[in-house]
Amino acid sequence: MYLNSLYLNDFRNYKELAVHFYSGTNLILGPNGEGKSNIIEAVYMLSTSKSFRDAQDQHITRWGQNGYRVRGEFSSDDRTYEIGLEYTGSNKVLSVNGTHERKISNIIGYIYCVLFIFDDIYLINGPPLTRRNYLDLILSTSDPLYFRVLRNYLTVVKHKNRYLKEAGEIDWNLVFTWNEQLVESGSYLIQQRWLILEFINAYLERTVGERNDLFFPFRLKYKSNVVDETGMRDREEIRELFSKKLKKGRVAEVKARTALYGPHRDDFLFTDRAFAVRHFGSVGEARLSTILLKLAQSEFFKQKKSVIPILLIDDILLELDMKNMEKVLSFFDTDSQKIITTTEKKKLPEIFSSDRVFTIGKNGQISCS
């Protein structure tokens, strides 16, 4: 899969922008603050409908304007897609090949991207929500059913939490009804999260074994208050464990006035089988670990969806020394389209080659060579 062209109107600092990308490696050069990351953000939004910066639409709109438009032309398996995203100042409109889509779920899954950004480091030392959101994004992109089940599960949790917070005398029949829904949808979420972590760990084991001069041996450890560390692949077993947990903990939930058990409290840790990386790993080891995790995500899309995702690499390579940068670049799929931002090309290793170089100057002016 690759991006042919990107068109922006009143997006961030760009009044108008048209960029035609090469199917191989595209390097975007420019000083900090001139809009390199904004291009990465726009492509990512066409894949997920959301900004990786958690920015509100009115803040993405160019200063003084009422809305923005983003449009991309993509190719995959001899098919072409035109994905559009328009914010009118009051709502967001999505489109596929010119047809408006009312549901976000109808646009997710067309475009596969893997994003490498500075904030990936928070996947290691950030809160559990950051890691849950990461897994949910991968699974929702590759499995529309997961997206629907997750949305339903979080809606039920929201209703249950509100009731527990505001209710006087508890209606246990109502709580039981919600718990049944949570068990049904939550067991699917737990199962799928466990399976993808198994996939990632298998990838990590192969990759670290091949290049132990770069990566130290680590894996991802699933933390759940429903299943134990050995994990559960059978959904019926997960249902039974989840149901028992909710029944046993119902009094504790009432006292806490919140839903205490289920995948909305899941977490996963980077560990070397003994210690968590967040506690003993260096900043460099943490950065390399997140890069390897993203490469595992790319391999997951490749194997599970038979698609080579677009790699969006936003100015993180320069955090590595030249030797490690060369090794990391050798891991990237040669068949994938790459869009890489950096401040200076001369700081990249000699083995790095780019098929197309875009230079961003003042006021978002862009030139290609």
Q: How does pLDDT run across 86-111, given as a tens digit for each residue?
A: 999 888 889 999 888 877 777 788 89
pLDDT reading at 253 higher than 60? yes
Cα gap 116→247, rounded to integer Å: 42
Q: Could you tell me the pTM of the whole model?
A: 0.91
Cα gap 220→268, rounded to integer Å: 6
- The reply to whether 273 and 355 lie within a common domain is no
Q: What's the pLDDT tens digit per position in 175-198?
A: 999 999 999 999 999 999 999 999
The per-residue pLDDT for 275 is 59
- The reply to whether 153 and 265 lie within a common domain is yes
CATH number at residue 66: 3.40.50.300
| Cα angle value 226/231/232 (rounded, 5°) | 80
Mean pLDDT of the region 42-56 = 91
Q: In b/e form, how buried is each residue of 77-100, taking b as 16+ CB within 10 angstroms?
A: eeeebbbbbbbeeeeeebeeeeee
Considering 239, 263, 281, which residue would you say is the last residue of a domain? 281
In a domain, 295, yes or no: no
Confidence of residue 216 (pLDDT cuts 50, 70, 90): low
Structural domain count of the chain: 2
- The reply to whether 152 and 243 lie within a common domain is yes
- The reply to whether 81 and 189 lie within a common domain is no
Mean pLDDT of the region 116-136 = 93
The per-residue pLDDT for 89 is 87
Mean pLDDT of the region 114-128 = 92
Phi/psi of residue 269, each to 5°?
-120, 150
Percent of the chain with pLDDT over 70: 91
- The reply to whether 231 and 357 lie within a common domain is no
- The reply to whether 254 and 206 lie within a common domain is yes
16: CB partners within 8 A, 6+ apart: 8, 9
The beta-strand segments (E) located in 77-185 are 79-87, 92-96, 99-101, 113-116
Q: What's the pLDDT tens digit per position in 137-156?
A: 999 999 989 999 999 999 99
- The reply to whether 155 and 260 lie within a common domain is yes
- The reply to whether 34 and 83 lie within a common domain is yes
The per-residue pLDDT for 68 is 96
Phi/psi of residue 127, each to 5°?
-75, 160
In a domain, 126, yes or no: no
End-to-end CA distance of the chain: 23
In a domain, 91, yes or no: yes
pLDDT reading at 16 higher than 90? yes
Mean pLDDT of the region 230-234 = 68
- The reply to whether 161 and 107 lie within a common domain is no
Give the domain extent around 28.
1-112+307-369
> Can you spell out the DSSP letters for 191-202?
HHHHHHHHHHHH
CATH number at residue 248: 1.20.1050.90
Considering 247, 281, 315, which residue would you say is the last residue of a domain? 281
- The reply to whether 211 and 250 lie within a common domain is yes
- The reply to whether 39 and 92 lie within a common domain is yes
In a domain, 289, yes or no: no
